Amino acid sequence: MLIPVLLFIVGLLFLIKGGDWFVDGASALARRFHLPELLIGATVVSIGTTLPEVMVSTMSALSGHGEIAYGNAIGSVICNAALIAAITIAVRPGRVDPKTLKTPVAFFFAAAAIYCIAAYVFGRFTRVMGIIMLAMFVAYMAANVLQMKNTPAGEQEASEEEEMPLAKTLILLVLGAVLIAVGANLLVDNGTLIAQALGVPESVIALTFVALGTSLPELVTAVTSLAKGHSDLSLGNIVGANVFNLVLVSGVSITLAPFTIPQSATLFGINSSLVLDLPVMLVVMLILTVPALVKGKLHRAQGILLLAIYAAFCAVQFAL
C-alpha cells in the first residue's frame, strides 16, 4: 500500500511541474511570435493547465476506466469553481470585465447541455458526442481568436524582459509534456490501486483526489494572478479551463473510448452522479459566473458559499 501511495504522490508532483514547465514554454513561444497576452491567457495557458486532465482522462478511458475519465472532468470543474476560484474570490474579490467572460461561459453551458443530454437521456457517451465536443473545442478556439482580432491591442507594449531562448522554450515544452504524460500514468494506475485497497469507488477518487491533483496547475495560476491583483485573469483562466474540461478532456476520452455513465452509489434510489455530481457542477458554475456577468463584480460571499458547497460535496461523496 505504501508504494502505490508514494507513486501516486510522485505522479501528482510530475503533473504539477510538467504543467508549470509546459505553460512557461508555451507562453514564451506565443510571446516570441507576438500573440496578444489576453489570447495567451485564454487559450495557451488554459490548455496548458488542462493538460493533466487530458492525459489522465485519456489514459483512464483507454485502460477501461471510463468512470475516472468522467469523474475527473466533472470533479475538475467543481474543484476549479468551488475551491480554486472560491479561494481567490474569498481572499480578494474584485471587478471583472463581463465581455471577456461571455464567450467561455456560453461555450461552457452549451457543452454542459450536451453532457446532461448524454447522462439523463442516453445514459452513455457515444463517439459521435465526443466528436461534437471536439468540434466545439475548435469553435471555441476560433471564437477566441476572432475576439482578440476585434479587440484593440491597446497598450500591449511587450516589455522587453529578456526573451527566453528558443532552445530553452522547446526544452520546457517537451519536458513538460513528458512529465505530464508520466505523471498522469502514475496517477491513474496508483489511484486505481488505492481505491481498490480502501474499498472506495473509483468514481469517488476521481471526483475528489484525482480532480484536485490535476487542478493544481489552475491553482498555481490563480494564486499567481491573485498575488498580482489580476482577479479577472484568474477567473477567466478558470472558466476557460472548465470549458476545456468538458469539450477537450471529455471530447478526447469519449472519442477514443466511449463509455456508459458510471454508477458507484445511489442517492434517493437514483444514480448519485445524476442527482449530485452534474447538478453541483451546474450550480457552482452559475454561482461563479452569473454575478460576474450581470454586475461585473465578484463578492466575498460568493467565495465563501462556493467553499461551503465544495466541503459539503466532498463530505457527501465519502458518506455514500
> pLDDT digit string (tens) for 115-146?
999 999 999 999 999 999 999 999 998 888 78
Chain centre distance of CA 302? 20
Q: What is the pLDDT of residue 300?
A: 92
Asked whether the CA dihedral 276, 212, 141, 145 is positive or negative, the reply is positive
In the predicted model, what is the mean pLDDT of residues 44-71? Answer: 75
State the distance between the two ends of the chain, measured CA to CA, in whole angstroms.
23
- CATH architecture entry for 37-152+187-319: Up-down Bundle (1.20)
pLDDT at 154: 46
Per residue in 155-170, pLDDT (tens digit) is 444 444 567 888 888 8
The number of CA neighbours under 13 Å toward the Cβ of 67 is 17
Looking at residue 155, what DSSP letter applies?
S
What's the rounded Cα separation, in Å, for the pair 173 and 268?
47
The structure's pTM equals 0.76
Mean pLDDT, residues 269-279: 86
What does the block give as the cell for 223?
A: 494564486
Residues with Cβ within 8 Å of 7's Cβ and at least 6 positions away in sequence, in order, are 186, 189, 190
